[in-house]
């Protein structure tokens, strides 16, 4: 579904990614792990057109997307839920969700997606008229993911979804991610909770200083000496 070949990218002429290559197959959960500043979020931003690659190619569902604008990439079904939630505080829960559905052609399809989100996150239905800024951190994260799902994505990128959440909510979050994948959504998970991410993913990549330094099945990476020392404290 997604093929990234030797992409490089950066900010203001300062390189952040160096020859990154990765693959995501339909139906997979693929995770990217790495320390703060390693380039994880830059990968997500480059895949969705917020940062333009200076070299390499990105192919999504058979189409080259490296030079497309973000709204064009969204229309193809590649959706990014950014780090930090970025909900619209003064809008209601429903208004936030509907902003994610602007690519859907009909009101009937928007309502169908809204019903799907309400089934996935019942608390959002319960609080549909509440201002997003008054929700708890966990509820805002549900809202951010729900807004991404409103676009009916083929591939959903989640960037640090567990950031700032209590341990119990982190466990519920990973259960939700697994449930979303089982509905047929392919997922790229960028995550600081290394063990949890590797245990649930099909495959993973380790990034250091803007370069992929290891890849493999999640279970293989959990047993990797490098991963255990650098990220698991073992």
**Token reading at 145:** 């993911």
pLDDT for res 90: 94
On whether the CB atoms of residues 24 and 84 are closer than 8 A, the answer is no
pTM of the model: 0.92
- Domain locations in the chain? 2-77+153-231, 88-152
Q: Are strands 211-217 and 203-208 parallel, antiparallel or unpaired?
A: antiparallel
How far CA 146 is from CA of 90, 154, 176, in Å, comes to 17, 14, 11
What does 12-51 look like in DSSP terms, one character per residue? TTEEEEEEEEEEE-TT-EEEEE--TTSSHHHHHHHHTTSS
pLDDT for res 234: 62
CATH number among 3.90.420.10, 3.40.50.720, 3.40.50.2300, 3.40.50.300, domain 2-77+153-231: 3.40.50.300
CB contact set of 6 (below 8 Å; sequence gap of 6+): 19, 20, 21, 55, 56, 57
pLDDT digits (tens), the chain, 234 positions: 999 999 999 999 899 999 999 999 999 999 999 988 899 999 999 999 999 999 999 999 999 999 999 999 999 999 999 988 789 999 999 999 999 998 898 999 999 999 999 999 999 999 999 999 999 988 999 999 999 999 999 999 999 998 888 888 888 889 999 999 999 999 999 998 899 999 999 999 999 999 999 999 999 999 998 899 888 876
pLDDT for res 80: 95
């Amino acid at each position: 579904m997604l093929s990234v070949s030797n992409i490089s990218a950066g900010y203001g002429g300062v390189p952040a990614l160096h020859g990154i290559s990765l693959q995501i197959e339909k139906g997979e959960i693929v995770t990217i792990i790495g320390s703060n500043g390693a380039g994880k979020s830059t990968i997500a931003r480059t895949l969705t057109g917020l940062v333009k690659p200076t070299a390499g190619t990105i192919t999504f569902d058979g189409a080259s997307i490296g030079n497309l604008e973000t709204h064009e990439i969204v229309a193809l079904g590649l959706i990014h839920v950014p780090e930090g939630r970025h909900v619209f505080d003064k809008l209601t829960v429903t208004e936030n969700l509907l902003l994610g559905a602007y690519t859907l052609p009909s009101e009937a399809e928007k309502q169908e997606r809204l019903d799907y989100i309400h089934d996935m996150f019942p608390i959002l239905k319960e609080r549909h008229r509440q201002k997003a800024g008054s929700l708890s951190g966990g509820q805002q994260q549900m809202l951010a993911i729900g807004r991404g799902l409103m676009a009916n994505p083929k591939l959903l990128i989640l960037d640090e979804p567990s950031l700032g959440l209590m341990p119990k909510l982190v466990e519920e979050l990973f259960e939700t991610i697994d449930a979303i994948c089982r509905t047929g959504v392919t997922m790229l998970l960028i995550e600081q909770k290394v063990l949890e991410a590797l245990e649930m993913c099909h495959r993973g990549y380790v990034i250091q200083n803007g370069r992929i330094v290891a890849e493999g099945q999640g279970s293989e990476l959990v047993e990797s000496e490098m991963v255990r020392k650098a990220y698991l404290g073992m």
